[in-house]
Amino acid sequence: MSAPPRKFDPAKAAAAVAKAALIVAACLWIYSPVYDGEWLWDDDYLLTDNATVQSPDGLWKLWFAPATADYFPLTMSALWLMWRFFGMDSTGYHIASILLHALGSCMVWALLARMRTGWAWFAGFVFAVHPLAVESVAWISELKNTLSLPLFLAAAWFWVRFDDQRKRSDYALALAFFILAMLGKSSPVMFPVVILLHAWWRRARIDFPDILRSAPFFVVSLVLGIVTLIFQHGRAIGDEPIPIGGFDSRFAIAGMAVLFYLGKILWPATLLPIYPQWDANPPSALQFLPWAAIAAAALVFWLNRKTWGRHAIMGFGFFFAMLLPVLGFVAMSYMRVGWVADHFVYIPMIGIVALAAAAGAKVFQICGPNAKPLLLGAAGAVAFALTASSHKYSAIWQNEERMWTYTLEYNFDCWQAHNRLGARKFNRGEIDPALAHFQEAVRLRPDLAETQNNLGSAILAKKDTKGAIRHFSEALRLSPDIIAIQSNLANALVLDGNHADAAKLYADLAARFPANATFQCNLGVTLYRTGRTEEAVAAFRRALEIEPNLEDARKNLAIALGEAETPSQNQTPQP
């Protein structure tokens, strides 16, 4: 039945504005430590080293010829637009993400109010200040989360209103916003299932018209979901091994992940950028117990479905459905570092937060007058504790040094933390600390070209050419298409005096990348040192044709022509 039209109430409008302002103010305070935060982790790949995003005419490529590991063209377009205003200044991107999160939090409140659940504003506020949201808001690469969320919630709001009033315009808007949300990030992919869950929650059944109306949403979900899988397996993962095991391992990991996320929602302590990976390959019998607990809870909810169980099924059902794509049944590139991540539960946790708020409202309604102040005080204490905790945790995301050092305090076997922290120290010239971190990274993941290459770079900086050659060779075996590794190996061979093998590597690079002046110059050096002077002169001249101001090529050409004494070469290793 449609809700009767509401008359404008200035007092209620003012109260709503004040409540929204409180959510925005809380978000701005929580994330104040990262206003000028550094670029982190994948930010270089997504933005700072992304020539397409930085190109004035790159917008078309972002939609129709993307080179990224995922197809999220709306998010990439937003970054393209922000680059025009902010460039390399991270502050604008951080502020945009914070405001999008605040908007999403207000829309959680609006959606739950539309659904007539209790304490809707409190649920929106708790979502706004919950520490599990910090990773999504403070890390610019997860702008795809904070951008997709308001679009997803708009789709849900219009769907609920359509379910109330049956206006075609609401249906069209729900579908349009769902498509936009999916183009921002594919995390809302299970929304069609939520639509059917909502129908059951409203009417205690799912009719054929409900299925028919949800069909276009399933089509969108299927098509864009397949696109995501193609990009993930063809680009993000590629040939890299994902150590997740068979179906038994994946099933065990999924059950443990569900309880892990639920625990972090209810008690968000010791949150980490990367959590330890459970050893479940093969899984033990105990690792399947979470599924027994999940099944038991589902049975209890179902047996009480005519009363409170209906709401529990809606809240937990939303949580589980939205979480299902990232539980590990389908391999994702992130699983190279961990099975779980805070940004995976950004949208799913809304179901638990909303259910907890509605339960609090129900208890408040039935409790006596003496208990009401105590309950409100407890709710306020929870909100305050979450706000303070989020503010403290957001400071961890201020820069990579702090983020990875903190990670290693609780997860010392995190190879990615060692790898990234080592690279940071290496680039500052702190070779010995970098070497120690790279050694740990190789100990933990010897099967990755990235870790082998970085260790080779540090060893080469210590003048151990043979050790460096060993690790560069292993890295090249693992990933033969990575140019930097091949170049690093060639440089190490030159330093070790093996100019013939180095010449072969540089000849291959120069042939594959004929417009690269550095490769042509370095090829010339190796040819000259193997006595092939005429070929060396030709290589130096090609380098100067490509880049007339390349000083190394000019000097080396003079040497080859007998006009100078010592050839020079770009020998900087690239971690």
The answer as to whether 14 is a domain residue is no
pLDDT by residue (tens digit) across 68-122? 888 999 999 999 999 999 999 999 999 999 999 999 999 999 999 999 999 999 9
What is the pLDDT at residue 333?
Answer: 82
121 shares its domain with 213: yes
385 shares its domain with 504: no
Return the DSSP state at 282: S
The answer as to whether 121 is a domain residue is yes
What is the pLDDT at residue 561?
Answer: 87
For residues 157 and 539, what is the distance between their CA atoms, to the nearest angstrom? Answer: 64
171 shares its domain with 302: yes
In the predicted structure, residue 124 carries a pLDDT above the cut 50: yes
pLDDT by residue (tens digit) across 495-504? 999 999 999 9
The answer as to whether 542 is a domain residue is yes
The helix (run of H) or strand (run of E) holding residue 414 is none
pLDDT by residue (tens digit) across 228-267? 988 887 776 666 777 778 899 999 999 999 999 999 999 9
Beta carbons of 242 and 322 less than 8 angstroms apart: no
387 shares its domain with 461: no
The whole-model pTM stands at: 0.91
What is the pLDDT at residue 563?
Answer: 62
Q: How far apart are the first and last CA of the chain?
A: 63
The answer as to whether 19 is a domain residue is no
310 shares its domain with 178: yes
What is the pLDDT at residue 239?
Answer: 66
214 shares its domain with 92: yes
pLDDT by residue (tens digit) across 457-508? 999 999 999 999 999 999 999 999 889 999 999 999 999 999 999 999 999 9
| Residues contacting residue 532 through CB under 8 Å, at least 6 positions apart | 503
The answer as to whether 256 is a domain residue is yes
Domain finish residue from 432, 455, 481? 481
Tokens of residue 270, six digits: 């010791």
What is the pLDDT at residue 52?
Answer: 93
The answer as to whether 21 is a domain residue is no
119 shares its domain with 184: yes
Distances (CA, A) of 416 to 247, 338, 423: 25, 10, 10
524 shares its domain with 473: no
The answer as to whether 486 is a domain residue is no
What is the pLDDT at residue 5?
Answer: 59
Beta carbons of 88 and 10 less than 8 angstroms apart: no
The answer as to whether 170 is a domain residue is yes
In this prediction, what percent of the chain has a pLDDT beyond 70?
96
337 shares its domain with 443: no
241 shares its domain with 343: yes
Domain finish residue from 400, 424, 453? 400
Closest by alpha carbon to 227, among 257, 294, 182, 197? Answer: 182
For residues 101 and 137, what is the distance between their CA atoms, to the nearest angstrom? Answer: 7
Greatest distance between any 2 Cα atoms in the chain: 99
| Counted domains in the chain | 3
553 shares its domain with 465: no
What is the pLDDT at residue 541?
Answer: 93
336 shares its domain with 416: no
What is the pLDDT at residue 2?
Answer: 46
Look up the domain containing 418 and give its range: 412-481
What is the pLDDT at residue 569?
Answer: 55
Buried b / exposed e along 199-220 (16+ C-beta atoms within 10 A): bbbeeeeeeeebeebbebbbeb
What is the pLDDT at residue 570?
Answer: 52
Domain finish residue from 349, 371, 400? 400
What is the pLDDT at residue 243?
Answer: 76
